[in-house]
Structure 1
Amino acid sequence: MKTIYGVGAVVFRLQSDQTIEILLIRKRKGFWSLPKGKLKANEPPRKAIVREVYEETHVIAEVIDLIGSIDYLINGPQGTQRKLVDYYLLRAIKGRARPTGGREQIVAAEWVPLAEAIERIQRPRLRAVVRAAQSWFSC
Protein backbone atom coordinates (compact mmCIF):
# COMPACT_ATOMS: atom_id res chain seq x y z
CA MET A 1 0.00 0.00 0.00
CA LYS A 2 1.34 3.41 -0.99
CA THR A 3 1.88 5.98 1.76
CA ILE A 4 1.18 9.66 1.15
CA TYR A 5 3.21 11.98 3.38
CA GLY A 6 1.89 15.36 4.42
CA VAL A 7 2.29 18.15 6.94
CA GLY A 8 -0.30 20.10 8.88
CA ALA A 9 -0.30 23.03 11.27
CA VAL A 10 -1.86 24.48 14.33
CA VAL A 11 -1.08 28.14 13.68
CA PHE A 12 -1.61 30.46 16.65
CA ARG A 13 -1.39 34.09 17.58
CA LEU A 14 -1.63 35.78 20.96
CA GLN A 15 -3.98 38.75 21.28
CA SER A 16 -3.14 41.74 23.51
CA ASP A 17 -5.54 40.37 26.17
CA GLN A 18 -3.56 37.07 26.09
CA THR A 19 -6.32 35.23 24.20
CA ILE A 20 -4.87 32.45 22.07
CA GLU A 21 -6.39 32.26 18.60
CA ILE A 22 -6.01 29.39 16.14
CA LEU A 23 -6.08 29.77 12.36
CA LEU A 24 -8.82 27.61 10.83
CA ILE A 25 -9.67 27.07 7.18
CA ARG A 26 -12.92 25.97 5.60
CA LYS A 27 -12.94 24.10 2.34
CA ARG A 28 -15.72 24.01 -0.24
CA LYS A 29 -16.89 20.77 1.32
CA GLY A 30 -18.02 22.91 4.25
CA PHE A 31 -15.97 21.65 7.18
CA TRP A 32 -13.51 23.60 9.32
CA SER A 33 -10.00 22.23 9.35
CA LEU A 34 -6.32 23.00 9.88
CA PRO A 35 -3.94 24.02 7.09
CA LYS A 36 -2.14 21.04 5.61
CA GLY A 37 -0.63 19.77 2.40
CA LYS A 38 1.77 17.41 0.69
CA LEU A 39 5.54 17.60 0.65
CA LYS A 40 7.20 18.50 -2.65
CA ALA A 41 10.09 16.33 -3.85
CA ASN A 42 13.04 16.60 -1.45
CA GLU A 43 11.30 19.36 0.56
CA PRO A 44 12.01 19.35 4.30
CA PRO A 45 8.77 19.04 6.34
CA ARG A 46 9.31 22.27 8.30
CA LYS A 47 9.79 24.23 5.10
CA ALA A 48 6.76 22.52 3.55
CA ILE A 49 4.36 23.48 6.35
CA VAL A 50 5.45 27.13 6.31
CA ARG A 51 4.82 27.13 2.54
CA GLU A 52 1.45 25.37 2.85
CA VAL A 53 0.20 27.77 5.54
CA TYR A 54 1.14 30.74 3.36
CA GLU A 55 -0.35 29.23 0.19
CA GLU A 56 -3.65 28.43 1.91
CA THR A 57 -4.08 31.49 4.15
CA HIS A 58 -1.56 34.23 3.19
CA VAL A 59 -0.19 34.09 6.77
CA ILE A 60 3.57 33.95 7.31
CA ALA A 61 4.41 31.77 10.31
CA GLU A 62 7.39 30.14 12.00
CA VAL A 63 7.64 26.56 13.23
CA ILE A 64 7.79 26.20 17.01
CA ASP A 65 7.61 22.44 17.52
CA LEU A 66 6.34 19.12 16.20
CA ILE A 67 3.01 18.28 17.86
CA GLY A 68 2.54 14.72 16.61
CA SER A 69 1.44 12.57 13.69
CA ILE A 70 -1.84 11.23 12.37
CA ASP A 71 -1.95 8.00 10.39
CA TYR A 72 -5.14 7.02 8.54
CA LEU A 73 -6.49 5.40 5.38
CA ILE A 74 -8.10 7.25 2.49
CA ASN A 75 -10.01 5.92 -0.49
CA GLY A 76 -9.29 7.73 -3.71
CA PRO A 77 -8.92 7.21 -7.44
CA GLN A 78 -5.89 4.98 -6.83
CA GLY A 79 -7.67 2.81 -4.26
CA THR A 80 -6.99 2.68 -0.55
CA GLN A 81 -3.87 4.57 0.52
CA ARG A 82 -2.23 5.25 3.84
CA LYS A 83 -1.83 8.92 4.75
CA LEU A 84 0.72 10.02 7.33
CA VAL A 85 0.56 13.68 8.37
CA ASP A 86 3.01 15.33 10.78
CA TYR A 87 1.42 18.29 12.58
CA TYR A 88 3.49 21.26 13.71
CA LEU A 89 2.81 24.17 16.03
CA LEU A 90 3.44 27.48 14.23
CA ARG A 91 3.38 31.05 15.50
CA ALA A 92 1.96 33.63 13.11
CA ILE A 93 4.43 36.38 12.25
CA LYS A 94 2.46 38.53 9.79
CA GLY A 95 -0.20 38.53 7.13
CA ARG A 96 -3.96 38.96 7.14
CA ALA A 97 -5.74 35.60 7.03
CA ARG A 98 -7.70 35.24 3.82
CA PRO A 99 -8.69 32.21 1.77
CA THR A 100 -6.95 31.27 -1.43
CA GLY A 101 -9.85 29.55 -3.20
CA GLY A 102 -8.79 28.07 -6.54
CA ARG A 103 -7.08 24.70 -6.61
CA GLU A 104 -6.84 24.65 -2.82
CA GLN A 105 -10.67 24.96 -2.60
CA ILE A 106 -10.39 27.08 0.54
CA VAL A 107 -13.31 29.44 0.95
CA ALA A 108 -12.60 30.84 4.45
CA ALA A 109 -9.62 31.46 6.71
CA GLU A 110 -10.38 32.78 10.20
CA TRP A 111 -8.69 33.38 13.52
CA VAL A 112 -10.78 31.67 16.20
CA PRO A 113 -10.31 31.57 20.00
CA LEU A 114 -8.78 28.25 21.04
CA ALA A 115 -11.83 26.74 22.82
CA GLU A 116 -14.13 27.72 19.94
CA ALA A 117 -11.66 26.29 17.41
CA ILE A 118 -11.79 22.91 19.14
CA GLU A 119 -15.59 22.97 18.92
CA ARG A 120 -15.68 24.03 15.25
CA ILE A 121 -13.41 21.22 14.10
CA GLN A 122 -15.60 18.21 13.37
CA ARG A 123 -12.97 15.53 12.84
CA PRO A 124 -11.94 13.93 16.18
CA ARG A 125 -8.35 13.34 15.02
CA LEU A 126 -7.92 17.07 14.27
CA ARG A 127 -9.51 18.08 17.58
CA ALA A 128 -6.94 15.80 19.26
CA VAL A 129 -4.11 17.62 17.45
CA VAL A 130 -5.37 21.01 18.68
CA ARG A 131 -5.74 19.64 22.21
CA ALA A 132 -2.13 18.39 22.02
CA ALA A 133 -1.07 21.90 20.96
CA GLN A 134 -3.11 23.31 23.85
CA SER A 135 -0.83 21.52 26.31
CA TRP A 136 2.10 23.49 24.82
CA PHE A 137 0.37 26.75 25.82
CA SER A 138 0.12 25.54 29.43
CA CYS A 139 3.91 25.41 29.79
Structure 2
Amino acid sequence: MSSDGKLRNIGPKSAAWLRQTGIHNQADLEAVGALAAFIRVKRAGFKPSLNLLYALEGAILGCHWQEIPEERRQELVLAAGEEVAKLPPPRGKRVPVAGPVITLRHDEDEGTMPEPDFGFDDPAAERD
Protein backbone atom coordinates (compact mmCIF):
# COMPACT_ATOMS: atom_id res chain seq x y z
CA MET A 1 0.00 0.00 0.00
CA SER A 2 1.33 3.41 -0.87
CA SER A 3 1.87 6.14 1.69
CA ASP A 4 -1.31 7.91 0.55
CA GLY A 5 -3.47 4.85 1.34
CA LYS A 6 -4.07 3.75 -2.23
CA LEU A 7 -3.78 0.13 -3.24
CA ARG A 8 -0.96 -0.61 -5.67
CA ASN A 9 -2.12 -1.22 -9.29
CA ILE A 10 -5.66 -0.08 -8.49
CA GLY A 11 -7.08 2.96 -10.25
CA PRO A 12 -9.94 5.16 -9.03
CA LYS A 13 -12.72 3.20 -10.77
CA SER A 14 -11.53 -0.16 -9.47
CA ALA A 15 -10.98 1.33 -6.01
CA ALA A 16 -14.60 2.55 -6.01
CA TRP A 17 -15.81 -0.92 -7.00
CA LEU A 18 -13.77 -2.45 -4.20
CA ARG A 19 -15.08 0.05 -1.63
CA GLN A 20 -18.64 -0.79 -2.65
CA THR A 21 -17.93 -4.45 -1.95
CA GLY A 22 -16.41 -3.81 1.50
CA ILE A 23 -12.72 -3.69 0.60
CA HIS A 24 -11.33 -0.36 1.78
CA ASN A 25 -7.63 -0.96 2.32
CA GLN A 26 -4.68 -3.32 1.97
CA ALA A 27 -5.64 -5.29 5.09
CA ASP A 28 -9.17 -5.87 3.75
CA LEU A 29 -7.78 -7.03 0.41
CA GLU A 30 -5.25 -9.37 2.02
CA ALA A 31 -7.94 -10.84 4.29
CA VAL A 32 -10.26 -11.54 1.36
CA GLY A 33 -7.73 -12.48 -1.31
CA ALA A 34 -7.49 -11.46 -4.94
CA LEU A 35 -9.90 -14.06 -6.32
CA ALA A 36 -12.64 -13.42 -3.76
CA ALA A 37 -12.29 -9.65 -4.20
CA PHE A 38 -12.64 -10.05 -7.97
CA ILE A 39 -15.74 -12.23 -7.53
CA ARG A 40 -17.25 -9.68 -5.13
CA VAL A 41 -16.88 -7.02 -7.81
CA LYS A 42 -18.50 -9.29 -10.42
CA ARG A 43 -21.31 -10.24 -8.02
CA ALA A 44 -22.00 -6.55 -7.40
CA GLY A 45 -22.83 -6.19 -11.09
CA PHE A 46 -19.66 -4.51 -12.30
CA LYS A 47 -17.81 -5.81 -15.34
CA PRO A 48 -14.13 -6.01 -14.44
CA SER A 49 -11.60 -7.41 -16.87
CA LEU A 50 -9.04 -10.03 -15.91
CA ASN A 51 -6.55 -7.19 -15.50
CA LEU A 52 -8.31 -6.32 -12.24
CA LEU A 53 -7.73 -9.86 -11.02
CA TYR A 54 -4.02 -9.58 -11.85
CA ALA A 55 -3.87 -6.10 -10.30
CA LEU A 56 -5.39 -7.39 -7.07
CA GLU A 57 -2.89 -10.24 -6.92
CA GLY A 58 -0.08 -7.78 -7.56
CA ALA A 59 -1.37 -5.47 -4.82
CA ILE A 60 -1.27 -8.36 -2.36
CA LEU A 61 2.19 -9.48 -3.46
CA GLY A 62 3.54 -5.93 -3.61
CA CYS A 63 4.47 -6.04 -7.29
CA HIS A 64 3.27 -4.63 -10.61
CA TRP A 65 0.44 -6.70 -12.06
CA GLN A 66 2.50 -7.49 -15.17
CA GLU A 67 5.09 -9.19 -12.95
CA ILE A 68 2.62 -11.93 -11.94
CA PRO A 69 4.07 -15.16 -13.41
CA GLU A 70 2.11 -16.62 -16.32
CA GLU A 71 1.52 -19.87 -14.43
CA ARG A 72 -0.10 -17.97 -11.55
CA ARG A 73 -2.19 -15.91 -13.98
CA GLN A 74 -3.52 -19.10 -15.53
CA GLU A 75 -4.38 -20.48 -12.08
CA LEU A 76 -6.26 -17.28 -11.28
CA VAL A 77 -8.12 -17.31 -14.61
CA LEU A 78 -9.22 -20.93 -14.18
CA ALA A 79 -10.35 -20.36 -10.60
CA ALA A 80 -12.17 -17.14 -11.58
CA GLY A 81 -13.94 -18.93 -14.43
CA GLU A 82 -15.19 -21.61 -12.06
CA GLU A 83 -16.42 -19.04 -9.54
CA VAL A 84 -18.04 -16.77 -12.14
CA ALA A 85 -19.93 -19.78 -13.55
CA LYS A 86 -21.56 -20.21 -10.14
CA LEU A 87 -22.91 -16.65 -10.10
CA PRO A 88 -26.60 -16.16 -10.93
CA PRO A 89 -27.42 -14.22 -14.09
CA PRO A 90 -27.72 -10.44 -13.58
CA ARG A 91 -31.10 -9.31 -12.26
CA GLY A 92 -33.56 -8.05 -14.81
CA LYS A 93 -31.77 -9.70 -17.68
CA ARG A 94 -32.98 -12.88 -19.24
CA VAL A 95 -30.55 -15.17 -20.88
CA PRO A 96 -31.92 -15.81 -24.37
CA VAL A 97 -32.53 -19.41 -25.25
CA ALA A 98 -31.61 -20.31 -28.80
CA GLY A 99 -34.46 -21.71 -30.82
CA PRO A 100 -34.19 -24.38 -33.46
CA VAL A 101 -32.64 -23.48 -36.75
CA ILE A 102 -34.99 -24.06 -39.67
CA THR A 103 -33.71 -24.16 -43.22
CA LEU A 104 -36.29 -23.62 -45.93
CA ARG A 105 -35.66 -24.77 -49.47
CA HIS A 106 -37.58 -23.87 -52.57
CA ASP A 107 -36.58 -26.60 -55.01
CA GLU A 108 -38.98 -25.62 -57.76
CA ASP A 109 -37.69 -22.93 -60.08
CA GLU A 110 -34.47 -22.39 -58.16
CA GLY A 111 -33.09 -18.97 -58.82
CA THR A 112 -36.46 -17.21 -58.96
CA MET A 113 -38.10 -15.54 -56.06
CA PRO A 114 -41.74 -16.42 -55.37
CA GLU A 115 -44.23 -13.56 -55.55
CA PRO A 116 -44.88 -12.22 -52.06
CA ASP A 117 -48.35 -12.85 -50.69
CA PHE A 118 -49.33 -9.95 -48.49
CA GLY A 119 -52.77 -11.35 -47.72
CA PHE A 120 -54.76 -8.93 -49.89
CA ASP A 121 -55.60 -8.57 -53.56
CA ASP A 122 -53.28 -6.45 -55.66
CA PRO A 123 -55.44 -3.94 -57.61
CA ALA A 124 -52.73 -3.65 -60.27
CA ALA A 125 -52.98 -7.39 -60.98
CA GLU A 126 -56.76 -7.09 -61.62
CA ARG A 127 -56.18 -4.59 -64.47
CA ASP A 128 -54.14 -7.07 -66.50
Pairwise TM-score range, normalised by the shorter structure: under 0.3
Taking structure 2 as the reference length, the TM-score comes to 0.24
Which protein has the larger Cα radius of gyration, Structure 1 or Structure 2? 2
Which has the larger share of strand?
1
Taking structure 1 as the reference length, the TM-score comes to 0.23
